[in-house]
């Protein structure tokens, strides 16, 4: 193809750069750039809309996927020329609705067992084979999609290092790489050991331009206990929590009958580790027929099938309890509930804050302390009430908490500045990298290799 003026100008810019700065790495990078601008596919990208790729490893529950979906929807709502692609291993990602200009690629599933080990979800493959397939799909997708920004959820190198090749490729193209972390990862001692084993801090140092923490430091500091260099510390921004919007569509015709009157919503998120909460609430309703509100139980799609059947059967025997397995629009059920009984996962916590719902939180404590840490801090601030499971699941204790729930203060009665500004700040932080011309991004990247 003949060179046009824009390509010629870009080529001269790169050559000027290499003449001015002569480290070997600069030569290699500019040589790559010169090859790329003569590629007709890459050259055509100058006139395209902006692109963001979001990676979510999704080996347990719904939390990572729902957080990434919330961010993706907010980004396309705020940037009219933007397309967002989500890479996910969630087996039920297709059950969710996605806005226009948001789509997903599902990689083969891997599930985290309760003992902390991983195994292939559906395929009869060794874990190493599945990881190899995932890594290849991820890298090839990133290569063709060619995002302006990559947002990685939680795992700096992905599951078992599966995105390291992708990070290196996008870094070599001058793309903007962001690590997104929830407000709490685990207790500091456990996190230090885990991140040392995963080589996480060197990954942040070498690959990432920014680290976004979806929370506030006055509530939790997820990297507490880690030894961070000054350069790493400069990369960190606390965004505030991610607010949840309820879809405008009405309830579907098949909405649970119990939602036609005031009710409590009991949710376990994905449900893979929430059977103890459902058990405790059922015991309360089985032992006390005078609780003030009926309850709708959302068991979760990852609850073991035999547990699902047992809980559904027990709920069917109670006049004031109804149970469903899954609802992709649980925000609607939460919005209409008098109060919420839940575990202490990040997304449910954000929904409670966003919808200003009174809530009783029963955090899990294994295999991570994440939910306990988050819920303890939230209770100190008056945002929720925490009920700890001491192993006995006393029905009277739960019944008492359910009676008192309607009289709890709402989260909005506690003033925490910047609490729900997460999406505002994510859009503010990402904006310059979506508007900046490709030539400028590459020049900035090459300039970073100037000798001291």
Spatial separation of the C-alpha atoms in residues 245 and 334, rounded to whole Å: 11
3-state class of 398 per DSSP? helix
Spatial separation of the C-alpha atoms in residues 59 and 235, rounded to whole Å: 27
Spatial separation of the C-alpha atoms in residues 77 and 422, rounded to whole Å: 15
Q: Are 167 and 140 in contact (CB under 8 A)?
A: no
Residue 189's pLDDT band (cuts 50, 70, 90): very high
pLDDT for residue 241:
98
pLDDT for residue 379:
97
pLDDT in tens, 66-115: 999 999 999 999 999 999 999 999 999 999 999 999 999 999 999 877 67
In whole angstroms, how far apart are CA 446 and each of 14, 25, 232? Answer: 9, 9, 20
Give the predicted TM-score (pTM) of the model: 0.85
Please measure the distance between the N-terminal and C-terminal CA atoms of the chain and give it in whole angstroms.
39
pLDDT of 6 > 90? The answer is no
Listed in order, strand segments (DSSP E) in 41-99 are 51-56, 83-88
Token pair of 246 as six digits:
């309820």
Spatial separation of the C-alpha atoms in residues 353 and 241, rounded to whole Å: 9
Q: Are 65 and 93 in contact (CB under 8 A)?
A: yes
Residue 204's pLDDT band (cuts 50, 70, 90): very high
pLDDT in tens, 11-30: 444 334 333 333 444 444 44
pLDDT in tens, 324-352: 999 988 999 999 999 999 999 999 999 99
Q: Which domains does the chain have, with CATH numbers?
A: 44-243+421-447 (3.40.50.2000), 257-413 (3.40.50.2000)
Q: What percent of the chain has pLDDT over 70?
A: 83
Sign of the Cα torsion 342, 357, 75, 441 reads: negative
Residues 202-214, mean pLDDT to the nearest whole number = 98
Residue 248's pLDDT band (cuts 50, 70, 90): confident
pLDDT for residue 1:
42
Residues 175-188, mean pLDDT to the nearest whole number = 97
The set of residues, in sequence order, having a beta carbon less than 8 Å from that of 11 and lying 6+ positions away, is 3, 34, 37
């Amino acid at each position: 193809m003949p060179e046009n003026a824009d390509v010629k100008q870009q080529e001269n810019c790169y050559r000027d750069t290499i003449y001015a700065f002569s480290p070997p790495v600069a030569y290699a990078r500019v040589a790559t750039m010169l090859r790329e601008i003569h590629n007709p596919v890459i050259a055509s990208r100058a006139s395209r809309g902006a692109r963001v790729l979001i990676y979510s490893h999704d080996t347990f529950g719904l939390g990572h996927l729902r957080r990434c979906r919330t961010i993706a929807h907010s980004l396309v709502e705020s940037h009219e020329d933007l397309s967002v692609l989500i890479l996910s291993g969630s087996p039920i990602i297709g059950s969710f609705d996605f806005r226009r200009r948001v789509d997903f690629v599902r990689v083969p599933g891997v599930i985290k067992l309760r003992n902390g080990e991983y195994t292939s979800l559906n395929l009869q493959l060794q874990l190493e084979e599945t990881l190899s397939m995932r890594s290849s799909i991820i890298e090839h997708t990133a290569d063709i999609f060619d995002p302006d920004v990559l947002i990685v959820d939680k795992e700096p190198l992905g599951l078992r290092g599966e995105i390291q090749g992708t990070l290196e490729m996008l870094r070599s193209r001058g793309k903007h790489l962001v690590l997104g972390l929830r407000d709490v990862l685990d207790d500091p001692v456990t996190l230090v050991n885990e991140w040392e084993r995963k080589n996480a801090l060197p990954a942040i140092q070498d690959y990432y331009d920014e680290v976004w923490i979806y929370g506030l430091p006055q509530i939790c500091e997820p990297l507490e206990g880690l030894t961070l260099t000054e350069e790493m510390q400069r990369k960190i921004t606390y965004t505030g929590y991610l607010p949840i919007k309820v879809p405008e569509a009405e309830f579907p015709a098949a909405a649970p009958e119990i939602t036609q009157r005031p009710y409590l919503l009991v949710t376990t998120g994905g449900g893979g580790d929430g059977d103890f909460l459902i058990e405790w609430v059922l015991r309360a309703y089985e032992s006390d027929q005078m609780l003030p509100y009926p309850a709708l139980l959302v068991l979760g799609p990852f609850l073991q099938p035999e547990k699902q059947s047992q809980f559904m059967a027990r709920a069917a025997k109670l006049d004031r309890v109804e149970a469903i397995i899954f609802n992709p629009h649980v925000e609607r059920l939460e919005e209409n509930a008098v109060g919420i009984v839940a575990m202490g996962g990040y997304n449910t916590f954000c929904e409670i804050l966003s919808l200003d719902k009174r809530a009783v939180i029963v955090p899990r404590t294994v295999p991570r302390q994440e939910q306990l840490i988050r819920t303890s801090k939230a209770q100190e601030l008056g945002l929720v009430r925490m009920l700890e499971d001491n192993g006995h699941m006393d029905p009277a204790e739960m019944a008492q908490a359910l009676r008192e729930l309607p009289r709890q203060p709402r989260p909005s009665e506690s003033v925490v500045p910047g609490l729900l500004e997460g999406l505002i700040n994510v859009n503010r932080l990402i904006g310059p990298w979506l508007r900046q011309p490709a030539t400028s991004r590459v020049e900035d990247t090459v300039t970073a290799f100037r000798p001291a």
